[in-house]
Amino acid sequence: MNSELFEALDMLEKEKGISKDYMLERVEAALISAYKRDRNGLANVRVEINKDKQDIKMFEQKTVVGEVEDPELEIGLADALKINRKYTLGDTCEIELKPKNFRRLSAQTAKQVIIQGIREAERSMMIKEYESKKEEIITAIVDKIDPENEDVLVDTGTSKVYLKKAEQIPGEHFSVGDHIKVFVTEVMKESLRGPLVSLSRTAPGLVKRLFELEIPEIQQGVVVIMSITREAGSRTKMAVMSRDANVDPIGACIGNKGMRIQSIVSELRGEKIDVIKYSEDPVEYISAALSPATVKEVIIDSEKSCRVVVDADQLSLAIGKEGQNARLAARLTGYKIDIKTRAALEEEEAKKRAFLEAAEKEQEREAEEDAEIEAQAAHKEAHPEEAATVQTGAGEATDGTVGGDEV
């Protein structure tokens, strides 16, 4: 068994790249653990591995005592001297395990360690391969479709991974054998079990990488994708800019008669894509982001908040179905966008002015009242004799007369 084990470890190192020394350490630890488990954790044991002789020995360790109280951990001096004449009280006596027992344990443990080592090596190599493909597009082949949850098992060429239903473009359907493009969103380096990688067809990164692969000007760095947001299966908005004044970034992405963008739209199952020109000027950028609606005015209220004015016939187009156009524009620009018609804005401004005027008048009235109270208090302080006269008169009026007549 020992020679077979060492040959297997040599082959493992050569074919899988797993260090032989590392595997021998695993074998040693596994043997110790297995033996202690067989003895209910009470025994002490030492493993001796000789790589040159391709030999493994196992020794049970017991303390030499005069009178044995725990036979699992102790051995009498007389028995210890039979093993080695040098032992004295208190020494650790090592008893080599019988080949029959050891070989059974050794074979089982070595097999388990090797199988586990192969799995770990294969997983490690797959993780490294996926790491190089993170946030990239890979082509996978549909291997199986789960009829219950509609998750799709795909073969990436590295391993088989599930493309979850939630990561599929709404409305798309697959058949076994289909070649599909998927985006690697995450690699689980720390996970010992479960999926190695997360795949997606709904991530905005998929659209971004499709443009980077399809458009030469983007590959060359002349046209740059500045921002992208997406509601998969429905619409994507992407902001681009050009580093060359002679290159139209939108035209470069769309292509002659839409030839360039059409292949991307087809891959995305007909998803609409709005390519807009990026601008450092927030007014220009927000106006473009609300395309295809025509914007009349953008009012920046704060650092990340604005109001947008459109004609009445452009309002529904600017907001979009279920607010989608406005929602995507807000994500793309990072601004909170409030869209109104000119009439609605003027009505809102009029209400605001009326409110402010009413508040101002109320403040003026309160100020006049406060000033009058202060003036009265100051007059009383300046003319205390008037206050005394008033008090005297009030005292006389309480001497039993009513309306000037005696009672």
Q: Is 188 or 114 the better-scoring residue by pLDDT?
A: 188
Residues whose CB is less than 8 angstroms from the CB of residue 329 and which lie 6 or more positions away in sequence, other chains included: 237, 286, 289, 290, 337
Would you list the DSSP string of 249-287?
A: HHHHHH-GGGHHHHHHHHHTTT-EEEEEE--SSHHHHHH
State residue 398's pLDDT score.
45
Separation of alpha carbons 286 and 332, rounded Å = 9
What are the extents of the domains in the chain? 2-130, 134-200, 222-344
Q: pLDDT tens digits, residue range 348-393?
A: 777 777 787 778 888 888 887 877 787 777 777 777 766 556 555 5
Sign of CA dihedral 240, 241, 244, 246: positive
Separation of alpha carbons 284 and 248, rounded Å = 16
State residue 346's pLDDT score.
77
Instruction: Judge whether 261 and 273 are in contact, CB under 8 Å.
Output: yes
Q: What CATH number was assigned to the domain covering residues 2-130?
A: 3.30.1480.10
At 295, the pLDDT band (50, 70, 90 cuts) reads very high
State both tokens at 360.
């101002």
At 302, the pLDDT band (50, 70, 90 cuts) reads confident
Q: Is 191 or 365 the better-scoring residue by pLDDT?
A: 365
Alpha-helical runs (H) found in 320-341: 324-333
Q: What CATH number was assigned to the domain covering residues 134-200?
A: 2.40.50.140
What fold does the segment set 222-344 form as a domain? Answer: GMP Synthetase; Chain A, domain 3 (3.30.300)
State residue 401's pLDDT score.
43
Instruction: Judge whether 8 and 114 are in contact, CB under 8 Å.
Output: yes
Q: Regarding beta strands 160-163 and 223-231, do their DSSP bridges make them parallel or antiparallel, or are they unpaired?
A: unpaired
Separation of alpha carbons 381 and 128, rounded Å = 90
Q: Please report which helix (H) or strand (E) contains residue 137, including its range.
A: strand 137-145
Question: Please, which residues bridge with residue 60 across strands?
Answer: 45, 95
- Is a pLDDT exceeding 80 seen at residue 228? yes
Residue 165 per-residue DSSP state: G
Q: pLDDT tens digits, residue range 111-159?
A: 777 777 777 777 777 888 888 899 999 999 999 999 999 999 999 988 8
- Is a pLDDT exceeding 90 seen at residue 5? no
Q: pLDDT tens digits, residue range 84-105?
A: 889 999 999 998 877 566 666 6
